[in-house]
Amino acid sequence: MTECIHDDRPRSSAATPSGRMLIAGTPTVGDGPTMYSRNPSTGTNLEPGYPAASAGLVESACRHASQAAVPYRNVAPSERATFLDRIADELEQRREKLVTRARSETALGVQRLQGEAGRTVGQLRLFAAELRAGYWTQVRIDPAQPDRAPQPRPDLRQRRIGVGPVAVFGASNFPLAFSTAGGDTASALAAGCPVVVKAHPAHLGTAEIAAEAIAVAARDTGMPPGVFSQIVGEGNETGALLVRDPRIRAVGFTGSRRGGLALLALAQQRPIPIPVYAEMSSVNPVILLPAALAARGSALGEQFAASLTLGAGQFCTNPGLILAIDGPGLSHFIDSAATAVSDDPGATMLTTAIAKAYQTGSGRTGGLAEVEVLARGSRPDTAAGAAAQLLRTDAGAFLGNPLLHKEVFGAASTIVVCDDLVELVDVLAAIEGQLTATVHADADDQAAARALMPILEDLAGRIIFNGWPTGVEVGHAMVHGGPYPATTDSRSTSVGTAAIERFLRPVAYQDVPSALLPTELSAPESADVPWRLDGHMQLLAHSREDR
Ligand code: NAP
CA distance 463 to 187: 23
Strands 250-254, 166-169: pairing is: parallel
For residue 326, report the distance from its CA to the centre of ligand 1, in Å.
Answer: 38
Closest CA to 288 of 322, 245, 248, 331: 322
Cα–Cα distance measured from residue 18 to residue 50, given in angstroms and rounded to the nearest whole number: 8
- Residues recognised as catalytic: 279, 316
Q: At 133, phi and psi to the nearest 5?
A: -70, -35
The DSSP code for 155 is: P
In this structure, which residue's CA is closest to atom 15 in ligand 1? 259
What digits encode the pLDDT tens for the residues 346-373? 999 999 999 999 999 999 999 999 999 9
pLDDT band (50, 70, 90) for residue 541: low
Please name the residues in contact with 115: beta carbons below 8 A apart, sequence gap of 6 or more. none
Average confidence score pLDDT of the chain: 95
- Span 380-421, pLDDT tens digits: 999 999 999 999 999 999 999 999 999 999 999 999 999 999
**508 alpha-carbon distance from chain centroid:** 30
| Distance between CA atoms of residues 192 and 186, nearest Å | 10
Predicted TM-score (pTM) of the model is: 0.95
Residue 291: the pLDDT is 97
Gyration radius (Cα) of the chain, Å = 25
User: Is the pLDDT at 16 greater than 90, yes or no?
Assistant: no
Of all protein residues, the one whose alpha carbon is nearest to atom 44 of ligand 1 is 255
- When pLDDT is averaged across residues 56-72 and rounded to a whole number, the result is 98
Contacts of 369 (CB under 8 A, 6+ apart): none
Fold classification of 285-465 (topology level): Aldehyde Dehydrogenase; Chain A, domain 2 (3.40.309)
- Rounded distance from Cα 450 to ligand 1 centre (Å): 37
Q: Which of 256, 318, 352, 472 to mutate to test the pocket of ligand 1 (most atoms within 8 A of CB)?
A: 256
Residues 309, 348 contacting (CB under 8 angstroms): no
Q: What is the pLDDT of residue 353?
A: 97
Ordered by start, the domain boundaries in the chain are 285-465
Q: Which residues line ligand 1 at a C-beta cut-off of 6 Å?
A: 169, 171-173, 198, 200-201, 233, 235-236, 239-240, 254-256, 259, 262-263, 280-281, 316, 354, 357, 409
